[in-house]
């Protein structure tokens, strides 16, 4: 497998061993369970259906007998024999390691109704020569007689955000069985569901700076002040 489900927890910063400061996003990856297998013989393709985060109240409608809050399918290469068994816990440390390159897919934050300047970064009209009310206007939206209409898909004001977005080529900075630190920012707000897919490995990876016990104790000691 090369993918796993995660939940966005928080954003922060960390330091590398060379002293560089990087932005990181903390993702919760504990609780991935294989709930169904798709095989080439039975379903004409190979895949693993992952369940993520068990429901607090297991009582669900009859149409949905799953006890998991989220179900997503991870496509496998045809002919893959190394498939997990149903009920197996999928750990992030089995798939990822620090230095891996991942694509993160999720639903972006909804911005509501927005104009063309904010939504598509339009320049807007001139501020002078009598154009006092055209500063954030979109400009012309179509031709005259031909075609005599506005083309379908024309970039105009409308609902912005709340779309499926994939941020590519992010670096994994830290991994354990419950959490992953990803260098950079990912789509959506806190508690947003994400899909992480491994696409490569950074050969120039620099690990995070690990504070020693002596340094941690010194940082917790109260500052000494000179008594007068």
The rounded distance, in Å, linking the Cα atoms of 108 and 161 is: 6
**pTM for the complete prediction?**
0.81
Q: For residue 217, what pLDDT is reported?
A: 64
Helices (H) and strands (E) in the chain, counts: 3, 11
pLDDT in tens, 96-144: 999 999 999 999 999 999 999 999 999 988 888 888 888 899 988 888 8
Q: Give me the torsion for CA of 57, 61, 66, 72, rounded to 10°.
A: -110
Q: For residue 40, what pLDDT is reported?
A: 85
Contact 67, 58 (CB under 8 A): yes
The rounded distance, in Å, linking the Cα atoms of 1 and 77 is: 9
Q: Could you tell me the pLDDT band of residue 26, with boundaries at 50, 70 and 90?
A: very high
- DSSP conformation class of 149: S
Q: Give me the torsion for CA of 148, 149, 152, 157, rounded to 10°.
A: 140
pLDDT in tens, 165-202: 999 999 999 999 899 999 999 999 999 999 999 999 99
């Amino acid at each position: 497998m090369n993918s796993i489900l995660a939940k966005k927890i928080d954003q922060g910063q960390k330091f590398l061993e060379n002293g560089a400061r990087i932005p990181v996003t903390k993702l919760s990856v504990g609780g991935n369970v294989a709930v169904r297998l798709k095989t080439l013989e039975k379903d004409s393709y190979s895949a693993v259906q992952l369940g993520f985060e068990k429901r607090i109240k297991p009582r669900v409608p009859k149409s949905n007998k799953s006890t998991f809050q989220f179900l997503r399918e991870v496509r496998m290469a045809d002919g893959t024999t190394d498939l997990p068994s149903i009920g197996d816990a999928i750990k992030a440390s089995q798939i990822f390691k620090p230095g891996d390159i991942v694509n993160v897919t999720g639903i972006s934050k909804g911005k509501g109704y927005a104009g063309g300047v904010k939504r598509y970064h339009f320049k807007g009209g001139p501020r002078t020569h009598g154009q006092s009310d055209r500063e954030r206007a979109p400009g012309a939206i179509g031709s005259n007689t031909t075609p005599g209409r506005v083309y379908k898909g024309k970039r105009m004001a409308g609902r912005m955000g709340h779309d499926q977005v994939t941020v590519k080529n992010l670096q994994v900075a830290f991994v354990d069985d419950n959490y992953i630190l990803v260098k950079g920012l990912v789509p959506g707000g806190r508690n947003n569901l994400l899909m992480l897919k491994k696409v490569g490995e950074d050969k120039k990876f620099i690990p995070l700076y690990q504070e020693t016990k002596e340094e941690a104790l010194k940082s917790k000691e109260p500052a000494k002040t000179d008594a007068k």
